[in-house]
Structure 1
Amino acid sequence: MMKFFYAPNTCSIGIHVMLEEIGAPYESIKVDFLAKEQFSERFRSVNPKGKVPTLVRDDGSVLTEYQAMAFWLGRAFPEAGLLAEDLEAQTRALELLDFMVATVHMRGFTFVLVPKKFTPTEAAQQELTAHGREVIAAGFDRLAGILGEKEWLMGGYSIADPTLFYLTAWARLKDVPMPDALAAFHDRMLARPAVQRALKMVG
């Protein structure tokens, strides 16, 4: 059985949703960031990077980066329909994931969620937060344009949608404005049984 290491209010929820959509058996294991369990010998023995999400596959091998996990889940469980079969569509899905994770998440939300990680000065934290919000706003506008009138980013539901969901969930958590199209997308995601199950599991 796969083992999935996660922490609440992190990008882990995106992979959690994918696991629920796939329906394969897995064990969900919480890493308590408040107790600094990400630095514990127990967790570092699984993932020396000390990061979540972390996925231990049935054969004991470990995947540690969001995009790698999402791509593997889509390819390993094709019956779930989370990743198209043709190369161009797969490439475009990875392109979209990288934009959401590397730009909107890492260059945007990171500065909104944890500005104290980068500087102890309150004024500098406020500047970082403002910069992060600008990056998010530009990223959300781009994503809303990609979504357009569609229900899902790639047309059909895919690994891109749980990824966008963790960003819109953070937006709701931190009162970050969203275009109407993304707010409607978030509500559609909340209506999916897999999302409801994943949210219930993380508490």
Structure 2
Amino acid sequence: MILHHAKGSCSLGILVLIEELGIDCEVRHVDLPGGEQRTPEFLAINPKGKVPALIRDDGQVITEWPAIASYLAALKPERQLLPADPLGLARVVEAVEYVVSTMHMQGFSRIVRPENFCPERDQAEQVKERGLEIFRSGFDLFDRALEDRPFVAGSFSIADAALFYAEWWMVNRLDGRLPRNCNAHYERLMDRAAVRRALDR
């Protein structure tokens, strides 16, 4: 398999899962600042023009963070990165969707791409401020959820890889502070060998 990944992007979470599951996968780096995602070559792989994109050995392409994460977890069901029980599964999917659709797309995207949310340049700072509010409120929710558990769903799951990439952004791209329990979660994941290998890649 081949993962199309961009440094500092949400595909870091997918790399974490690949390393955690021990899946043999080539990583191809996409130059987002340079616009590689808009080239005909990349659009032939993912017409959406974004990462992550996973190419299976049979050539089929899977896109979108939740879909790729779920697919990888399903390849190694014995690792239980997706719970087998219906309620546990729902809770993991719930957490992943909130990170991706709200914290990432509604929050972080406003911070780094304010022009996508406002027609006037003089509104950019307000858009960024609103994005940071959304991003931080997400961490507040997860902070409460992590009060009595080490991982989002009790044991390590794809939800932790999703939350980790958002935490990594807050610490390394925004130079911000995480709430106490989220910071403990972030440090816990930073200590995992799979996460260190993902960061090295």
TM > 0.5: yes
Query: Could you tell me how far 1:149 is from its partner in structure 2?
Result: 2.5
C-alpha contact 2:81 2:158 (8 A) present in aligned 1: yes
Structure 2: 5+ residue stretches without partners: none
**Which residue pairs with 1:48 in the alignment?**
47
Structure 1: 5+ residue stretches without partners: none
**Which residue pairs with 2:182 in the alignment?**
182
Say whether 1:191 aligns with 2:182: no
**TM-score of the pair, normalised by structure 2:** 0.94
**TM-score of the pair, normalised by structure 1:** 0.93
- SS at 2:45 equivalent: coil
Which digits, 9 at most, give the CA deviation of each residue in 1:128-172, with x for residues without a partner? 111011111211111111111211110000000010000001101
Separation (CA, whole Å) in 2 of partners of 1:99 and 1:91? 12
**Which residue pairs with 2:8 in the alignment?**
9
C-alpha contact 1:189 1:195 (8 A) present in aligned 2: yes
Separation (CA, whole Å) in 2 of partners of 1:32 and 1:119? 25
Aligned AA (1:150): R
Separation (CA, whole Å) in 2 of partners of 1:4 and 1:188? 25
- SS at 1:72 equivalent: helix
Aligned AA (1:142): L
Could you say what the CA RMSD is over the residues aligned between the two structures, in angstroms?
1.4
C-alpha contact 2:2 2:25 (8 A) present in aligned 1: yes
Separation (CA, whole Å) in 2 of partners of 1:125 and 1:151? 37
**Which residue pairs with 2:129 in the alignment?**
130
**Which residue pairs with 2:58 in the alignment?**
59
- SS at 1:45 equivalent: helix
**Which residue pairs with 2:111 in the alignment?**
112
**Which residue pairs with 2:32 in the alignment?**
33
Query: Could you tell me how far 1:70 is from its partner in structure 2?
Result: 1.1
**Identity percentage of aligned residues:** 38
Separation (CA, whole Å) in 2 of partners of 1:45 and 1:138? 37
